[in-house]
């Protein structure tokens, strides 16, 4: 009997495939895997403290923390007065911080402070207002300085 040339392969359905499926697994793998998995409790201790704390207790702690955080964020909006800290208190606090520092850091800070003092000039205070008169004074001083040196140079040239 001649095969029918119009015959088409029937459509493969997933149900017919089911029994034919196979995945290669190395021999003895499952025994090795079981042994390895049974070692997990020894290698990974369970969080004992965590397991003793009920979930609702953790939830309550989280909620309290969230409320505190929100309160801290909202509080400054309603705060109408600023916190006053006296200059004396601030200096005492800074002294304490300075004493607690590493000596090498203390030297660095002291050097930086000295440099700042030198570059800004002594006697400068942040609450002193800078005005044009002061600027003129300074420029006046520098003029005097230049004149002094110019005179000195003239003398040298003259000599």
Partner 1 sequence: MSRNQDQDIIALLQHPGGHKEAFDLIVSQYHRKIYEHVRRMVIDHDDAADVVQEVFIKIWKHLAGFRKDAGIYTWIYRIASNEALNFIKAKQRRKLLPGRMQPFQPTASFQQTHEGEEIMNKLLKAVHSLPEKQQLVFHLRYFEELPYEDISAITHTSTGALKASYHFAVKKIEEIINQV
Q: Which of residues 33-72 bind partner 1 (CB under 8 A)?
A: 33-34, 36-38, 40-41, 44, 46-47, 50-51, 55
Give me 24's structure tokens.
Answer: 């290669």
Give me 29's structure tokens.
Answer: 């793998």
Which range, of 11-19, 96-104, 109-117, 146-154, touches partner 1 by CB under 8 A?
Answer: 11-19
Q: CB 37 → partner 1: shortest distance, Å?
A: 5
Q: CB 58 → partner 1: shortest distance, Å?
A: 10
Q: CB 36 → partner 1: shortest distance, Å?
A: 7
Burial 40-71 (b: 16+ CB within 10 A, else e): eeeeeeeeeeeeeeeeeeeeeeeeeeeeeeee
Contact assessment for residue 94 and residue 106, using Cβ atoms and an 8 Å cutoff: no
- Please choose, from the candidates 109, 92, 91, the residue with its C-alpha nearest in 3D space to the C-alpha of residue 101: 109
Residue number, 7 or 44, with CB nearest to partner 1: 44
Contact assessment for residue 145 and residue 137, using Cβ atoms and an 8 Å cutoff: no
Q: CB 52 → partner 1: shortest distance, Å?
A: 9
- Residue 14 interacting with partner 1 (CB under 8 A): yes
Residue number, 3 or 26, with CB nearest to partner 1: 26
Give me 125's structure tokens.
Answer: 């205070």
- SS3 category, 83: coil
Q: Which of residues 87-146 bind partner 1 (CB under 8 A)?
A: none
> Where does this chain bind partner 1 (CB under 8 A)?
11-14, 17-18, 20-26, 29-30, 33-34, 36-38, 40-41, 44, 46-47, 50-51, 55
């Amino acid at each position: 009997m001649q095969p029918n040339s119009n015959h088409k392969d029937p459509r493969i359905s997933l149900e017919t495939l089911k029994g034919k499926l196979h995945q290669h697994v190395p021999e003895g793998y499952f025994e090795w895997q079981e042994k390895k998995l049974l070692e997990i409790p020894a290698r990974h201790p369970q969080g004992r403290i965590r397991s003793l704390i009920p979930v609702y207790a953790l939830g309550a702690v989280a909620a309290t923390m969230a409320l505190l955080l929100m309160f801290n964020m909202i509080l400054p909006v309603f705060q109408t007065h600023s916190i006053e800290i006296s200059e004396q208190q601030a200096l005492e606090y800074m002294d304490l911080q300075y004493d607690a520092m590493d000596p090498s850091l203390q030297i660095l800070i002291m050097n930086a402070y000295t440099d700042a003092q030198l570059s800004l000039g002594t006697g400068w205070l942040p609450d002193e207002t800078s005005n044009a008169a002061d600027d003129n004074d300074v420029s006046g001083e520098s003029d005097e300085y230049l004149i002094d040196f110019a005179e000195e140079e003239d003398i040298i040239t003259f000599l």
